[in-house]
C-alpha cells in the first residue's frame, strides 16, 4: 500500500520547493526578492496578483520566469483599447457541418499574463471577472471550466494615464495582492546590466507540477492558526473602515472607504502560506503584517483631504499597523 505523506512532510517539501524556486528565478530576475515572495504566495494561496510599476522593471519577464519554473501552461494577453471579450474568453463559430462549435480563448490556460490590463475598456476587463472568481467561462448559456490551477497575473503602468481605463473596485477586489515594483538599487542594476549585455543564456528548470501546486494549496488551508492572530487580522481591516467601532481619528480623518471582509480572508490565508514558506507550522502576527500592504493597498480609498496633504495609501497602512 502506498504510504500517504504526513502534513509535516508536505510542509517541509513546500519549504524546500520555495527555496528551489527562488534559486531558479534568481537566474533571470536579479533583486525583487519581496515581489517574488508575494507572487509565489499568491500561487500557493490560489489567488491573483496585480503588478504595478513603471516601464522597464521586467514585470512581464518576471511572470514569464515564474511560469517557466512551474510545469504549467502559460498564455500572455496584451490588453489594447480594441480588445474584445471574445478575444479573451473565446467564441462560438460554425463548423463544416454548420453546427456551432466553441473555440476556446487564451484564458483557458494555467497562468494568464494580463499585460497592461488598464489599457482595455471596462467591458473587456469585466470578461475576466467570472474566470477569476468562479474559475469558469459562460458562453451562450454553457459553462466551460478552466484548467486548474489557474492564476491571473496582471501588470499595470501607473504613470501613463492617457488612453487608460482605471480598474473598477469590483475587479480590483478580485486580486489578492497589489504589488508595487520599485527601481532596483545600484548594485542590483549593475548586476542586471552585466547579465543582460552578455551572451550567456540562463535556463530555468521546472520545479513544481500542477498537481504539486494544488496539493500545497490544500495544505495551506489546513494550517492551524491561533484565535488572537485571526482577531488581529480582522481588527486591522475594521480599523481601515471610517466611523467603525475600531476606527481611530486618523482613519476617520483621511479615509473615504475601508477594506471589506475579503481582505480579512486574504490576510489569514496569506499569513498561513507565509509561515510555511519560512519553515513554520503556524502563523503569528508578524506573518499578517508581512502581507498587509499588498492586500490592503487596493482596498482602501483616501479622501480628498489625504490627497491634498500628500498622504499615500501606504502611509495610512503603516499607521494602521
> Helix axis angle, 227-239 relative to 261-277, nearest 10°?
130
Yes or no: is domain 7-211 CATH 3.40.50.300? yes
Pairing of strands 111-115, 151-156: parallel
- Taking only the tens of pLDDT, the chain with its 321 residues reads 444 457 888 888 888 989 988 888 888 888 788 888 999 999 999 989 998 877 777 778 888 888 888 888 888 888 888 888 888 888 878 777 777 778 888 888 888 888 888 888 888 888 887 788 888 888 877 888 888 899 888 888 775 555 677 787 777 888 999 998 888 888 888 887 887 777 767 788 888 888 899 999 999 999 999 999 999 999 999 988 888 888 788 888 888 888 888 999 999 999 999 999 998 888 999 999 999 999 999 888 888 887 888 888 888 888 888
Which DSSP category does 167 fall into? P
C-alpha cell of residue 60: 512581464
Predicted model pTM: 0.87
* Arch. (CATH architecture) of 223-320: Orthogonal Bundle (1.10)
Give the closest residue to 180 by CA, choosing from 302, 286, 88, 317: 317
Give the closest residue to 149 by CA, choosing from 272, 40, 46: 46
How many other CB atoms sit within 10 Å of the CB of residue 51? 26
How many other CB atoms sit within 10 Å of the CB of residue 227? 7
Q: Could you give the 3-state DSSP secondary structure of residue 260? A: coil
Torsion angles phi and psi, residue 259, rounded to 5:
-80, 155
Give the closest residue to 168 by CA, choosing from 112, 128, 115, 125: 125
Domain ranges of the chain: 7-211, 223-320
Give the closest residue to 107 by CA, choosing from 64, 150, 43: 150
CA 321 centroid distance within chain: 22
Amino acid at each position: 500500500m502506498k504510504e500517504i505523506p504526513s502534513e509535516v512532510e508536505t510542509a517541509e517539501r513546500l519549504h524546500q520547493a520555495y527555496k528551489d524556486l527562488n534559486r531558479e528565478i534568481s537566474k533571470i530576475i536579479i533583486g525583487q526578492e519581496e515581489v517574488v515572495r508575494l507572487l509565489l504566495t499568491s500561487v500557493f494561496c490560489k489567488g491573483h496578483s496585480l503588478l504595478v510599476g513603471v516601464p522597464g522593471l521586467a514585470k512581464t519577464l518576471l511572470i514569464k520566469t515564474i511560469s517557466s519554473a512551474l510545469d504549467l501552461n502559460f498564455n500572455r494577453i496584451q490588453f489594447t483599447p480594441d480588445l474584445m471579450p471574445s478575444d479573451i474568453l473565446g467564441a462560438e463559430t460554425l463548423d463544416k457541418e454548420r453546427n456551432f462549435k466553441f473555440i476556446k480563448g487564451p484564458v483557458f490556460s494555467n497562468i494568464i499574463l494580463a499585460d497592461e490590463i488598464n489599457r482595455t475598456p471596462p467591458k473587456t476587463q469585466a470578461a475576466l471577472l467570472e474566470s477569476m472568481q468562479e474559475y469558469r467561462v459562460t458562453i451562450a448559456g454553457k459553462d466551460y471550466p478552466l484548467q486548474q490551477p489557474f492564476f491571473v497575473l496582471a501588470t499595470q503602468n501607473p504613470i501613463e494615464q492617457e488612453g487608460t481605463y482605471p480598474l473598477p473596485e469590483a475587479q480590483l477586489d478580485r486580486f489578492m495582492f497589489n504589488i508595487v515594483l520599485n527601481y532596483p538599487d545600484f548594485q542590483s542594476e549593475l548586476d542586471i546590466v552585466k547579465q543582460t549585455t552578455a551572451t550567456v543564456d540562463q535556463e530555468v528548470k521546472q520545479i513544481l507540477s500542477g498537481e504539486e501546486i494544488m496539493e500545497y494549496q490544500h495544505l495551506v488551508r489546513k494550517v492551524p492558526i491561533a484565535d488572537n492572530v485571526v482577531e488581529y487580522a480582522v481588527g486591522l481591516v475594521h480599523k481601515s473602515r471610517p466611523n467603525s467601532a475600531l476606527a481611530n481619528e486618523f482613519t476617520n480623518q483621511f479615509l473615504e472607504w475601508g477594506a471589506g471582509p475579503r481582505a480579512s480572508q486574504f490576510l489569514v490565508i496569506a499569513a498561513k502560506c507565509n509561515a510555511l514558506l519560512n519553515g513554520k507550522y503556524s502563523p503569528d502576527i508578524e506573518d499578517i503584517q508581512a502581507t498587509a500592504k499588498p492586500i490592503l493597498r487596493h482596498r482602501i480609498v483616501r479622501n480628498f483631504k489625504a490627497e491634498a496633504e500628500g498622504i499615500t495609501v501606504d502611509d495610512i497602512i503603516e499607521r494602521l499597523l
